[in-house]
Chain A
Amino acid sequence: MYSYNAFDTAFVRERVAQFRGQVNRRIDGSLTEDEFKPLRLMNGLYLQLHAYMLRVAIPYGTLNSRQMDQLAMIADRWDKGYGHFTTRQNIQYNWPKLKDVPDILDALADVEMHAIQTSGNTIRNVTADHFAGAAADEIADPRPVAELLRQWSTDHPEFQFLPRKFKIAITGSPNDRAVTRAHDIGLRMVERDGVAGFEVLVGGGLGRTPMIGKVIRDFLPQEDLLPYVEAIVSVYNILGRRDNKYKARIKITVHENGIEEVRNQVEARFAELRAAFDGIDQKLLADIKTHFAPPAFKDAPVDAFDAHRAANPAFASWSDTNLTAHKNDQYAIVSVSVKKHGQTPGDATSDQMRVLAQIARDFGHDELRISHEQNVILPHVHKSDLPAVYQALRAADLATANIGLVSDIIACPGMDYCALATARSIPIAQQIATRFDELKLEHDIGPLKIKISGCINACGHHHVGHIGILGLDRAGVENYQITLGGDGTETASVGERAGPGFSADDIIPAIERLVLGYLDLREDADETFLQAYRRLGADPFKAILYPDQQKAA
């Protein structure tokens, strides 16, 4: 994986030293909160409901065991022994003390990590397919490009004060696991005449005005990527609205100006920029690529895997749900569920982090990933090692066999932590997962994505959940609105509102009714919730959610 060069190291250390001075000046009163707030946000430090929160970037979701161990150390030493993995492939600490934050940032710098550009109107942490470099369906590993984008965008002088935050996601596979269509720029690798390039999407986003990204270029040669992305950001920097925060994202720019106009301006700017890029970016990319060379895969029999599957039904069930095909067929990609039924989605204890680090060292070529679905991935595990990996996970309460199922819920922090929330999301996720575990129907229900946000900002991606739940404040009471039919993959769509919201007490039974109702509606066990919804439309699902209304009508 990518290692900092001397410049990166010096840059990150310098930023920590600056921030240490700023914190000291804040504490001794020489900086007011108004002066300090933008400075702390630039370093990933938020103030939430009960405490500060530090958001640490995990670039393209990739980390090694040493970094994971350090995240565990930080959780123990300066937080409450756990961390929260987010949909943006970050980790958040919910309880740091202001005076400790510079020390935490130094500890992060020790393992080449930081919290820069996790906030503010900048180009944020570039997110990537969490199976990058491993997936069988991948054309090429997108992470060198993600790293190139990160180096180019970090502290880019033209792009420190964009109209609004700017998020880029990238996938090296036509199957989109990085929600590229809900990002300001989405890059999806595709092949044309045997050559790999990018489909470039622009203007996707969730929040109060959800939009699916539009194709601005259907095929961009790889070597044109950086000038093209720079052209998009630069056109947005000028065209994007600064008069109204809610109309400032590029999705609105595209909506108001039309994709043709934006495309024309981008292409014109691209023509200028292309000439200015003299190939230095390609040299840099070639150098970065050497850091992402695949590990030295071993060649060994895989009989132990099949034998263990036959002998151990729990292992078989786990391997059915939590493994994905690897490009090397002796290997598998392991998705470790950080969503044990009843637990807070995405929270891992420091002990669990250390176990994951150890497994990565022992069996995983020292690689770990964080997925936007708030799980941890071991991208390269030889199949003969899977029984041992499973045992180690089980011992750490990390072997829940629920990846992609109803209890594998994305939930934002909601009103348990977030100062912007209008309702809680975590307890709703906990209760849904617990309820479906009791029903023992999860595996029959099959693939189903429930996503929960605690306010209209949509950090929990509810618009692209097959079932989305949005927590609102209705006259001083928590109220939950359901959306149906959302999809975050290459067939992306924004979910439709089902109808009036439900109280905190009624939302769990409503979801249960909806999912059990789907079991009656589906053609056969292979038709997923989303497929059934697309075949039948919203009406039968609404009828299940609102039985009384149907009777009255």
Chain B
Amino acid sequence: MAKAFTPKVVTANHLLEGDVIYMDVNQKWVRELHQAHLIEDEAQADAWLAVAAAQPWQVVGAYLADAKSSAVGPVPAHFREAFRAKGPSNYAHGKIEQDQVAA
């Protein structure tokens, strides 16, 4: 039996800012993991990654990251993705800072 597919999100870094970004359900780039679209199907994952890879003027290094579903949207399946989603732990910089500004 084939291995069960682990759900994925499409993620990359923003070309100009360097910031971590995700693809939402409309294939638009968003900055928060919980706004991303959780892909449950392998064929769809590959197709979506191809869409991302075809936007080199916008994004760098697009890839599929494992994620889990939750009541608030996708959450990270691995601690590396948790740090990417949250920002560094030594300062309130990056996403943490942006969230404070936004709030």
Task: Select which of B17, B18, B80 is within 8 A of A415 by beta carbon.
Answer: B80
8 Å CB contact of A51 from B18, B78, B90:
B18
Say whether chain B's binding surface is mostly helix, strand, loop, or mixed: loop
Q: Do A50 and B95 contact each other (CB < 8 Å), given the known contacts A97-B17, A97-B18?
A: yes
Alpha-carbon distance between A451 and B90 when the two chains are bound, in angstroms: 18
Taking a contact as CB atoms under 8 Å apart, the answer to whether A47 and B18 are in contact is yes
Pairwise interchain contact B20-A50, C-beta atoms closer than 8 A? yes
CB distance B57 to A49 under 8 Å? no
Number of interface residues of B (CB under 8 A): 25
Q: What residues of B have a CB within 8 angstroms of the CB of A415 in the complex? A: 79-80, 83
Bound complex: CA A98 to CA B91 (Å): 22
Give the residues in chain A near B87, CB-CB below 8 Å.
50
Contacting pair A50 B19 (CB below 8 A): yes
Q: Are A50 and B79 in contact (CB under 8 A)?
A: no
Nearest A residue to B78 via CB reads A476
Count, chain A residues at interface, CB 8 A = 33
Interface residues of B in 10-26 (CB under 8 A from A): 13, 15-20
Q: A95-B93, A476-B78 are in contact. Are A416 and B88 (CB under 8 A)?
A: yes
Q: Provided the pairs A33-B56, A427-B90, A478-B79 are in contact, do residues A98 and B18 lie with their beta carbons within 8 angstroms?
A: yes
The contact string, 1 if C-beta is below 8 Å from chain A, for chain B 65-101, is: 0000000000001111001100111110111000000
| Residue A547 is within 8 A (CB to CB) of chain B in the complex | no
The answer on a CB contact under 8 Å between A99 and B84 is no
Choice from A97, A99, A344, A421 contacting B90 with Cβ under 8 Å: A344
Give the docked Cα–Cα distance between A427 and B77 (Å).
21
Question: Is there an interface contact between A27 and B57, defined as CB atoms closer than 8 Å?
Answer: yes
A278 at the interface (CB under 8 A from B): no
Q: Which residue of B lies closest to A423 (CB)?
A: B79
| Complexed CA–CA distance, A27 and B60 (Å) | 11
Taking CB atoms, residues of chain B closer than 8 Å to A219 are: none
Residues of B with C-beta under 8 A to A347: 90
Residues of A84-100 at the interface with B, using a CB-CB cut-off of 8 Å, are 94-99
Contact with B along A447-483 (1 / 0, CB 8 A): 0000000000000000000000000010011100000
Interface residues of B, Cβ cutoff 8 Å to A: 13, 15-20, 56-57, 60-61, 77-80, 83-84, 87-91, 93-95
Inter-chain pairs besides A47-B60, A476-B78, A477-B79, 20 sampled, C-beta below 8 Å: A27-B16, A27-B57, A28-B57, A47-B18, A49-B20, A50-B20, A50-B94, A51-B18, A51-B19, A96-B18, A97-B17, A347-B90, A415-B79, A416-B83, A416-B89, A416-B90, A426-B90, A427-B90, A430-B90, A476-B79
